[in-house]
Structure 1
Amino acid sequence: MIDLTLDVQRASRCTYLPSDDDIRSWVIAALPAHRKEVELAVRIVDEDESQQLNHQYRGKDKPTNVLSFHTDFPAELNLPLLGDLVICAPIVQMEADQQGKSLPAHWAHMLVHGTLHLLGYDHIDDAEAEVMEQLETKLLAQLGFADPYTPLEEAG
């Protein structure tokens, strides 16, 4: 059992935002079993804050679905703080609509995806992307969600 200390901050005007319980279950699904104690912050924002952070930290002047900020403490400190996720609710909603997914399915994907980034997974090259996408698909299936990478014409 993972002891997750979760700080959820809602700074979005979107009408649908997942519950703390949903966020908790989706994050825990992505955490490895050997992690006994984890602290994580999830900030849900609108486009302006996402764009500002994406520009400041990634040099991209546009909003994005999820930003992951890993906490990089020296290992000898043995602190449970994993990092912060910043999720742009309007982008998640727009992508869910475009991809024909339910909002909960896409939110689950973004939280699993962001948590995996905090754990060191990435998708910069094709090999890394394949590993990360396979793990995401497996974790989301365990949560009862369809493969997030199946094209719409195959999903129906």
Structure 2
Amino acid sequence: MLCLPQLRRQAREYGVAFQTEAARMTIHGFLHLWGYDHIKPKDARIMMPLQEKALEQYFCVPRKMIVLTI
């Protein structure tokens, strides 16, 4: 479930389009559903590249537009 007001705030905070932030959080949520986590640095090193790759591959977000927040 995505919270639209929170997505708007985060998009402004990270300087990205609302659609980009919505795509990022959608992927992020699916990764959590599939068992990935980012609490521990070693887990984040696994999860974050998967998130970046999915943004590039499935949502056509250029790497330079991907903001890592964790």
**TM-score computed with the length of structure 1 as normaliser:** 0.40
Please identify the structure whose Cα radius of gyration is greater. 1
Matches within 5 A, 1:1-156: 86-142=1-57, 143-145=59-61, 146-149=65-68
Query: Which of the pair is proportionally richer in strand?
Result: 1
Cα shift at 1:122: 0.4
Query: Which of the pair is proportionally richer in helix?
Result: 2
Which consecutive residues of structure 2, in runs of 5 or more, have no partner in the other structure?
A: none
Q: What's the C-alpha RMSD, in Å, of the aligned pairs?
A: 1.3
Structure with greater contact order relative to length (CA < 8 Å, sep ≥ 6): 2
**TM-score computed with the length of structure 2 as normaliser:** 0.85
Deviation above 3 Å: which 4+ runs of structure 1? Answer: none
Which consecutive residues of structure 1, in runs of 5 or more, have no partner in the other structure?
A: 1-85, 151-156
Alignment size in residue pairs: 65
Cα shift at 1:148: 2.6
